[in-house]
Amino acid sequence: MLRTRIITAVISLLVLGAVLFVLPPDAVQFVIGILILAGAWEWSGFLGSKSTPLRLFYVALVGALVALVAISDLTVLILQIACACWFVAFIWTFFFPTPIPMVVRWTGGVLVLIPLFVALLVLYRLDAQLLLFALLIVWAADIGAYFTGKQFGRVKLAPAISPGKTWEGVFGGLLLVGILSVIWGRIDELPLGVLVPFCLAVAALSIVGDLTVSMFKRAAGVKDSGKLFPGHGGVLDRVDSVAAAAPLFALGVVWLGLV
């Protein structure tokens, strides 16, 4: 299992590098849009129906919203709304398991995927390396949590949502993010007193994203959102943490003068 995860991760990283640094900007935007639509298809599986027309309608709805925000001037507002929603999701994790009404399932996918599209686009337009750094923060938090949790994990983080996650894993992930942010800050000559706490906050929010999508998966009775990435699951399984972290990162790097 671990070998499969590593192979898939390496291949995905190579593909990501080619997308970000080889393809022209229009093609990159198209790829991001396709990624969001794939996530919408997987999210439609949380709606309580296997009806293909219904699932296609949901994908079309998300696609229309993607097209709308791509030509709108609502970037900052969308990112701010996203950050507020993720704070609400954080509070929600303390009360799960709770019933998830169908209207929340429908709007939840929109509130996860549309700000993710906007944040990825904003970061790419600012600097492809900046987008890569945002992704590295999330991956470092995930990798650090995985291996630290496997080795030292004892105290469960949210057993009703994700029984495998532990507080020891959280601290291990944050430690790795701290090291990464110090290295990045030294390379880019950024103020570590601002960069490190900011990156730790982004990493912490990424955990909320993971837990939140896990709540929807549990309510829908599925373990993984899809099977696109062997050993990792589907698109949502790979971007749930990024969906929470990217809007905060996109807002913060500008507000804090880290660009």
* 3: its two tokens: 């070998």
The residue count of the chain comes to 259
pTM confidence score: 0.93
Query: How far is 58 from 66, CA to CA, in rounded Å?
Result: 12
Is the predicted pLDDT of residue 181 greater than 90, yes or no?
A: yes
DSSP structure class, residue 18: H
Query: How far is 21 from 36, CA to CA, in rounded Å?
Result: 20
Q: Average the pLDDT over 144-165 and give the result.
A: 94
Q: Is residue 228 exposed (0-12), middle (13-18) or buried (19+ Cβ within 10 Å)?
A: middle
* 195: its two tokens: 């960069």
| Neighbouring residues of 178: CB distance < 8 A, sequence distance ≥ 6 | 196, 199, 200
Confidence of residue 221 (pLDDT cuts 50, 70, 90): confident
Query: How far is 233 from 115, CA to CA, in rounded Å?
Result: 22
Is the predicted pLDDT of residue 7 greater than 80, yes or no?
A: no
* 142: its two tokens: 């995930």
Q: How far apart are the first and last CA of the chain?
A: 38
* 199: its two tokens: 């990156």
pLDDT per residue as tens digits for the range 97-131:
999 999 999 999 999 999 999 999 999 999 999 99
